[in-house]
Structure 1
Amino acid sequence: MTRSPLWLALPSRFAALPRTRARIVLGVLAVLLLASLTALGVPQPAPDAAGAGGDRQTDVALYEGIVAAVTHGQDYYRAAADALRAGSYPLRPFLTFRLPGLAVVQAALPPGVTLALLYALAAVTGFAWYRRLAEALPGLAPRLFVLFLLAAGMLAFVQPALIAFHEIWAGLLVALSLALRRPGQWVEAASIALIAMLVRETAALYVLVMAGLAFAEGQRREAIAWIVALGVFAGVLAAHAVAVHGVTGVLDAASPGWTGMHGFGLFVRAMSLATGLQLLPAVAAALLVALALFGWASWRDPLALRAVATFAAYAMVISLFARLDTFYWGLLIAPAFLAGLAFVPDGLRDLTSRALDTRRVRVHRVER
């Protein structure tokens, strides 16, 4: 018999699991919690891990310098090449150059207007997520809790010092796209995701996940929309590669590559540093990252499925390819990530209840 939900409007995904499957899922959760603690053994990046770019704040200074040069009339690609060389950054392959859109827009607007746009985007994204999550969390206490979690997840996204950092804008756009997508309503989501890709190309992974899930669910028109967005992005990226080739040469420094292979622990650290979890002890932060993933998996909803798939995809990419100094890739999924903790009470209660259920169905034969 399914028990009444604690916080959720409807029972969690685990409320009706057979005992054996519930025990398997409980074992997977235990492994996930243990795996999260590997973050404690991930080494700190060396001071010169990527030239001057080993520190995120230095990266911000680089982008601010490029914006300043474009503001004074310099061509974006020439300004970017000069700034990268001056900072001892790699210039090859072409992906070491950010796409020009964000810098060009920032150069065209007064700083106060750009900051207002960032705050507006953060507010709209937060409201969109609260509206979606409030549908699943009818009580006042869980709604207040999820507001706190959204604020903690967006802590880095309202810092004026990071306004030139591409992941800040792209992360908010990815989160807004995910919040706006509903069954049969995907035009706005795909359009916003395209903008996110044009700000930071790593947002393309999110679009691939959304396209794959749409195909898997038989939503052909939606899947085509996501593929079209990817096609437009691919065309822009090709033009970007040609432009970068025009300002670089074989003597320019090359990137050390993206084969970090630091494992799940680096993903856990990335999410800790990208959210308010950075204020907690490392052990607590690591365990909460794992519990947030579990919480999202507990919610039985198409939005939760897409969130889990997106988080899992970025977890895999960061675990396999991110270097120690590129932990900021986690910002792409940070805004809504911690909201999964709001689903943990129902998910954990239902899972343990089903796993520990010892009731048996007895059949009595009655002879007449």
Structure 2
Amino acid sequence: MRRSLAPVWLTEPSRCAGLSPRNAGAALAALAVLLLATLLVFATPAPPAASGAASNRADDQADVMLYETIVENVRHGGDYYAVAADAMRSGNYPLKPFVTFRLPTLATVQASLPHAVVVALLYILAAAVALAWYARLAPAFARPPPRIVAMTLLAGGLMAFVQSDLIAFHEIWAGLFLALSLGVHRPAAWLPSVAFGLAAALIRETAGLYLALMLLLALAAGARREAIGWLVAGAILAVVLAAHAHAVAAVVRPLDPASPGWSGHLGFGFFVRTMAVSTALALAPVWLAAPLVGLALFGWAAWRDPIGLRVLVVLAAYAAVLSVFGRLDTFYWGLLVAPLMLVGLAFVPDGLRDLFAALSDRRQITVRRIVR
């Protein structure tokens, strides 16, 4: 057997270590195809750019202001569904089907708390994500410098999640809860992970896909009790959505506009663009940001740890959803998985080194039969 080289940054060899030359070549070809696919971002239209001017906030953050209006009206005694319907009609938003209404969870909680407390809770949640992932990542790296790099990359993914003017945005909270759910997941202590995942789904129902993915991964790992936990979480979400649909039906009028649908078919380049605009990659030119997204996905695949595979599956699933169903005005769906995206880059040095080392290994074993 080929002896694995000593890791560069990691404490253990990457998933690419020990591959046969043929498999290493196939993996390298797949990586090349992935990097080329990220260039599809140039064929994808960009979401409308924000001007940044205070006078244009109504246009730049129309959705945020809609949610802020709903929170304020609920805070002053309004019924959530009634005030949400009125606010959506005023802003010319579609009211059909029922999923065009956000679940009342976030608005109800924020309406019951002072604004300063809500902002503090957002920062506490972001700090909890950072602490959970430091505890997860620190043992994976052999020295402090790569740990600092990994945490810096995590901070780059959290850049949009610590902006207090976005506290009414549902994906901000749901994305943090998903990142926290993955960060605290342990095979023998999965209940906190299920609880945080359910919290994300009760804020933004599109996080229900995460519950389904974790259920399938638990079944694949033979963790039957954990699978039951994710199944129960999914059942709770289903009951909540049924009640939500009933409440929405009571306030929607026959002539209210319907959604144009969710079949944008914008392709993989749209996912790449959403990751670029949702993280610190927004500061880099697109020609640099796009391949970094591909390398980050490769990095998660290279980390030889079960949670690395889970993160990769979640990223890939939401990439597929955004590629097929996303529209230009729903690019913010990417915020559900953006916090952890860039951390994958920390695993790239070991993954690439092990991949090229395996590819260049041309040693052969000759078996001779000696007859005496």
Q: Scaled by the length of structure 1, what TM-score is found?
A: 0.96
Give the residue type in structure 1 aligned to 2:354: D
The answer on 1:217 being equivalent to 2:216 is: no
Out of 222, 227, 235, the position equivalent to 2:231 is 227
2:243 match: 239
User: How far off is 1:326 after superposition?
Assistant: 0.7
Contact between 1:269 and 1:286, CA under 8 Å: does it hold in 2? yes
Out of 54, 57, 63, the position equivalent to 1:59 is 63
Give the residue type in structure 2 aligned to 1:271: M
Give the residue type in structure 2 aligned to 1:32: L
User: How far off is 1:365 after superposition?
Assistant: 6.2
* Matches of 2:142 and 2:79, distance apart in 1: 52
Out of 255, 262, 285, the position equivalent to 2:259 is 255
Deviations 1:185-233 (Å, cap 9, x if unpaired)?
1111101111111100011111111000111111111001000000001
Contact between 1:196 and 1:203, CA under 8 Å: does it hold in 2? yes
* Matches of 2:365 and 2:237, distance apart in 1: 57
* Matches of 1:362 and 1:113, distance apart in 2: 71
After superposing the two structures, state which structure 1 stretch, 159-168 or 354-363, moved more.
354-363
Please give the residue correspondences for 1:341-356 in structure 2 after superposition, counting only pairs within 5 Å.
341-356=345-360
User: Percent of aligned pairs with the same residue?
Assistant: 57
**What are structure 1's unaligned runs of at least 5 residues?**
48-53
1:160 match: 164
User: How far off is 1:293 after superposition?
Assistant: 0.2
* Matches of 2:344 and 2:294, distance apart in 1: 10
Out of 108, 113, 116, the position equivalent to 1:109 is 113
User: How far off is 1:172 after superposition?
Assistant: 0.2
Give the residue type in structure 1 aligned to 2:120: A
User: How far off is 1:140 after superposition?
Assistant: 1.0
Contact between 2:47 and 2:331, CA under 8 Å: does it hold in 1? no
Out of 284, 288, 296, the position equivalent to 1:284 is 288
Give the residue type in structure 1 aligned to 2:92: S
2:54 match: none
Please give the residue correspondences for 1:156-195 in structure 2 after superposition, counting only pairs within 5 Å.
156-195=160-199
1:24 match: 26
Q: How many residues align?
A: 364
Report the RMSD for the aligned CA atoms in angstroms: 1.7
Contact between 1:209 and 1:310, CA under 8 Å: does it hold in 2? yes
User: How far off is 1:362 after superposition?
Assistant: 3.2
Out of 10, 13, 30, the position equivalent to 1:11 is 13
Contact between 1:154 and 1:334, CA under 8 Å: does it hold in 2? yes
Please give the residue correspondences for 1:306-345 in structure 2 after superposition, counting only pairs within 5 Å.
306-345=310-349
User: How far off is 1:319 after superposition?
Assistant: 0.6
Give the residue type in structure 2 aligned to 1:172: L
Give the residue type in structure 1 aligned to 2:289: A
Contact between 2:46 and 2:273, CA under 8 Å: does it hold in 1? no
* Matches of 1:107 and 1:358, distance apart in 2: 66
Contact between 1:129 and 1:336, CA under 8 Å: does it hold in 2? no
2:38 match: 36
User: How far off is 1:144 after superposition?
Assistant: 0.7
**What are structure 2's unaligned runs of at least 5 residues?**
50-57
* Matches of 1:365 and 1:214, distance apart in 2: 47
User: How far off is 1:63 after superposition?
Assistant: 0.4
Q: Scaled by the length of structure 2, what TM-score is found?
A: 0.95
Contact between 1:7 and 1:138, CA under 8 Å: does it hold in 2? yes
User: How far off is 1:361 after superposition?
Assistant: 2.2
User: How far off is 1:359 after superposition?
Assistant: 2.1
